[in-house]
């Protein structure tokens, strides 16, 4: 696909995403910037790391997500004029190992980001996130959003039924999106899927078989055989690679949360009572000099 075709595809996606938000009544505030109007950010300037390795073989699958991330320059800087790519391989390095949880969380986030950022540029300076207390899901949310407990913008679900879903909140537009898997690839025993969508494709490994094996291997007091431990790992590997053979919209779903209030969704016990003020993004929109730097006179300053 040519760069022109990619841009046209992104433009069509942006239009539909904006129409979706308007229909949902979710646009409550102006974004920090408008790409192509108040700022010009170049994307696709660095090749994503999609080379498969022993710890991230799934990164080469056709629908493994790539994220175009926007950050600020240094600890007190403006926005960079470029995005950098992040892949599942980068997430695995951050998390420490590959697992189905990080991949599911990242895939759900990708679907949510299409609603939150119609231009495809993920601004990590405006994002908040909520997940269950699984380190796999929490690390994925923290890595992709930049949200942290010490800033008060990373939370854990109060309602444990959402443990394998995520909420991503964009503070500048005041839009929050709930994202999760669809019924048919969910494989956590006795946990419901919190949105109504179902997959229409047939997985290579049934979730019933996965849940039954997990009940033996992971439950307290379980005494699995070495074979069962290896089989569970194999099933997870097949499952993740199977999911990434299909467009992510076929396996994940997202919904704008009306009248979102952060405190209604998070567990107040698992928060920092006095969060630190985040300062690394406060100058992201700082104006530039009105003229170039001059050569200073003797003893003077520019």
Q: What is the DSSP string of 115-169?
A: HH-TTSEEETTSEEEEE-S-HHHHHHHHHHH---GGGT-EEEBSSGGGTTEEEEE
At 249 the three-state DSSP class reads helix
At 279 the three-state DSSP class reads coil
State residue 5's pLDDT score.
44
The yes-or-no verdict on residue 301 having pLDDT over 70 is no
State residue 23's pLDDT score.
42
CB 175 within 8 A of CB 21: yes
CB 169 within 8 A of CB 178: no
- Tell me, yes or no, whether 227 lies in a domain: no
Average per-residue pLDDT for the chain: 89
Could you tell me which residues are beta bridge partners of residue 123?
70
- Tell me, yes or no, whether 295 lies in a domain: no
Structural domain harbouring 159: 3-181+256-270
- Tell me, yes or no, whether 44 lies in a domain: yes
| Interatomic CA distance for residues 162 and 90, integer angstroms | 26
| Global confidence as pTM | 0.86
CB 69 within 8 A of CB 109: no
Q: What is the largest CA-CA distance in the chain?
A: 79
Number of domains the chain is built from: 1
Residues 240-278 as b or e (16 or more Cβ within 10 Å = b): bbbbbebebebbbbbbbbeebeeeebbeeeeeeeeeeee
- Tell me, yes or no, whether 202 lies in a domain: no
- Tell me, yes or no, whether 251 lies in a domain: no
At 242 the three-state DSSP class reads helix
Which range among 9-13, 76-80, 211-215 shows the weakest confidence by mean pLDDT? 9-13
State residue 46's pLDDT score.
96
CB 256 within 8 A of CB 177: yes
The yes-or-no verdict on residue 15 having pLDDT over 60 is no
CB 265 within 8 A of CB 32: no
- Tell me, yes or no, whether 215 lies in a domain: no
Please state the rounded mean pLDDT for residues 131-155: 96
The yes-or-no verdict on residue 297 having pLDDT over 70 is no
At 232-286, the pLDDT tens digits run 999 999 999 999 999 999 999 999 999 999 999 999 999 999 999 988 899 998 9
Q: What is the CATH number for 20?
A: 3.30.1330.20
State residue 296's pLDDT score.
66
- Tell me, yes or no, whether 246 lies in a domain: no
- Tell me, yes or no, whether 148 lies in a domain: yes
At 190-248, the pLDDT tens digits run 899 999 999 999 999 999 999 899 888 877 677 889 999 999 999 999 999 999 999 99
The yes-or-no verdict on residue 22 having pLDDT over 70 is no
Label the pairing between strands 154-156 and 175-181. Answer: unpaired
At 25-69, the pLDDT tens digits run 444 589 999 999 999 999 999 999 999 999 999 999 999 999 999
């Amino acid at each position: 696909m040519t760069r022109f075709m990619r841009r046209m595809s992104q433009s069509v996606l942006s239009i539909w995403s904006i129409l979706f938000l308007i229909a949902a009544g979710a646009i409550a505030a102006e974004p920090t910037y408008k790409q192509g109007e108040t700022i010009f950010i170049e994307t696709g300037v660095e090749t994503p790391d999609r080379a498969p390795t022993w710890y991230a073989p799934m990164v080469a699958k056709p629908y493994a997500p790539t994220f175009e991330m926007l950050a600020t320059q240094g600890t007190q800087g403006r926005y960079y004029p470029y995005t950098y790519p992040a892949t599942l391989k980068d997430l695995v390095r951050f998390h420490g190992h590959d697992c189905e949880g990080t991949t599911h969380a990242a895939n759900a986030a990708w679907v949510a980001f299409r609603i939150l950022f119609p231009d495809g540029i993920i601004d990590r300076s405006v994002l908040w996130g909520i997940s269950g207390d699984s380190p796999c899901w929490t690390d994925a949310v923290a890595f992709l959003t930049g949200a942290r407990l010490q800033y008060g913008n990373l939370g854990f679900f109060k309602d444990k039924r959402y443990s394998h879903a995520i909420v991503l909140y964009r503070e500048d537009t005041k839009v929050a999106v709930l994202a999760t898997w669809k019924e048919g690839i969910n494989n956590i025993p006795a946990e419901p899927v919190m949105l109504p969508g179902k997959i229409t494709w047939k997985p290579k490994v049934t979730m019933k078989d996965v849940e039954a094996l997990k009940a033996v291997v992971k439950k307290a007091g379980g005494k699995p055989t070495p074979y069962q431990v290896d089989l569970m790992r194999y099933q997870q590997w097949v499952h993740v690679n199977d999911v990434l053979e299909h467009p992510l919209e076929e396996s994940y779903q997202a919904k704008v949360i009306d009248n979102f209030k952060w405190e209604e969704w998070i567990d107040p016990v698992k928060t920092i009572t006095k969060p630190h003020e985040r300062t690394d993004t406060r100058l992201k929109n700082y104006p530039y000099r009105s003229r170039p730097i001059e050569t200073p006179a003797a003893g003077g300053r520019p």
